[in-house]
Amino acid sequence: MQLKDSVVVITGGGQGLGRAMALYLAEKGARLALIDLSEEKLQESVAKCEELGAEARYYLCNVAKEAEVESVFSKIAEDFGGVDALINNAGILRDGMLIKYKDGQVTHRMSLEQWQSVIDVNLTGVFLCGREAAAKMLESGRKGCIINISSISRAGNIGQTNYSAAKAGVVGMSVSWAKELARFGIRCMAIAPGFIETEMTGSMKPEALEMMTKQIPLRRMGQPNEIAQTVCFILENDYLSGRVIEVDGALRI
């Protein structure tokens, strides 16, 4: 895919990895449609893309809501004349242990609401946006590429029943789409980042971050640009599909 003038939709484009991807692709001349929940954050991302000379627009949308996703993708296709790529990046954390056992008493620690909220955004949101993006790529007669952001936590991680299940599901969905949509010239890949310095990891306790960093063989957290660069590599390589690229400083969970 030629990045110059390609229409790239990025969910969660208001901050963190999504914003870094937007700026990286803006420098390459892509046209950007950024989706998020916060208007203020989106306006800031769009302004930064425009400073780099790129065309960028923002769209307020909750990726977990079917009607909102359908309507936002129709609007994007109308505004830009089609869609060439989607980066399914929006995600949340609601960590917690499964159960608590104290003095012979067992209680639930992860609530159904905690489970469901992460599944809704990190798994259903990916499904809804991917389905709509694929439809718009076909309707405008374009080949395209979908990149889903998974995580090294997809292998399973303490305190992340909900997040690990969603991120493993995202990998299964990516391979299914790679097989199913190849006949239309649509590729699908997943990226599994390790620990990357963003607002999301910034919310972790400093002791936990320090302990985690010590376990990373490269002895540092990743930078958002290192994920953005991987996005760019995938978009530009037309023979990549159906695989997960791990960008994690050699950390394995």
Catalytic residues: 163
Shortest distance (Å) from residue 2 CB to ligand NAD: 26
The mark string for 159-198 relative to ligand NAD (x by CB under 6 A, - otherwise) is: ----------------------------------x-xx-x
Residue in the structure block whose two tokens are 């994920």: 227
Listed in sequence order, the DSSP H helices in the chain are 16-27, 39-51, 66-80, 112-119, 125-139, 161-181, 199-202, 206-215, 224-236
Using the contact rule CB under 6 A, the part of the chain among 16-24, 75-83, 102-110, 207-215 near ligand NAD is 16-24
The mark string for 23-62 relative to ligand NAD (x by CB under 6 A, - otherwise) is: ------------xxxx--x--------------------x
**CB 88, CB 11: distance < 8 Å:** yes
Secondary structure (H, E, C), 103-122: CCEEEECCCHHHHHHHHHHH
**CB 77, CB 139: distance < 8 Å:** yes
Interface residue with ligand NAD among 18, 130, 144, 169 (CB under 6 A) is: 18
Does position 15 bind ligand NAD by CB under 6 A?
yes
CA nearest neighbour of 23 among 57, 52, 63: 52
Residue in the structure block whose two tokens are 């950007």: 32
The mark string for 111-140 relative to ligand NAD (x by CB under 6 A, - otherwise) is: ----------x---x---------------
Residues within window 207-236 making contact with ligand NAD, judged by CB under 6 A: none
Residues within window 60-79 making contact with ligand NAD, judged by CB under 6 A: 62-64
In this structure, the strands spanning 7-11 and 99-102 are unpaired
CA nearest neighbour of 94 among 46, 144, 160, 190: 160
Does position 249 bind ligand NAD by CB under 6 A?
no
Distance, CA of 19 to CA of 23 (rounded, Å): 6
Does position 92 bind ligand NAD by CB under 6 A?
yes
Write out the residues near ligand NAD by the rule CB under 6 A.
11-12, 14-18, 35-38, 41, 62-64, 89-92, 121, 125, 149, 151, 193, 195-196, 198-201
